[in-house]
Amino acid sequence: MKKILKKIENKGQSARNKIQNVIQDQTGENYVDVGVKILIAVVIGALLLAGLYALFGDVVMPTLEQRITEMFNYAG
């Protein structure tokens, strides 16, 4: 029983020390990294969305419209 309590106490102290180190860390490095990652993701997402919008507007939709018109053209 004493071994189990000692293990729990050691894990608690280890967790407390880790949390204390994170709280006392004032470098700000993590915030900058996360901010840059978010900006990169937003820019890549916007470029991807713009590319898909241009592709669908200029290539896919006119072709699709033409094929649908040809399918339902009963006159000939």
Interatomic CA distance for residues 62 and 68, integer angstroms: 10
pLDDT tens digits, residue range 32-43?
788 899 999 999
pTM of the model: 0.46
Q: Which of 5-9, 47-51, 58-62 comes out lowest in average pLDDT? A: 58-62
Q: What is the largest CA-CA distance in the chain?
A: 92
Planar angle of CA 61, 59, 54, nearest 5 degrees: 95
Spans of all domains in the chain: 2-71
pLDDT tens readout for residues 4-34: 888 888 989 999 998 888 888 776 667 778 8
Residue 33 token pair: 């990294």
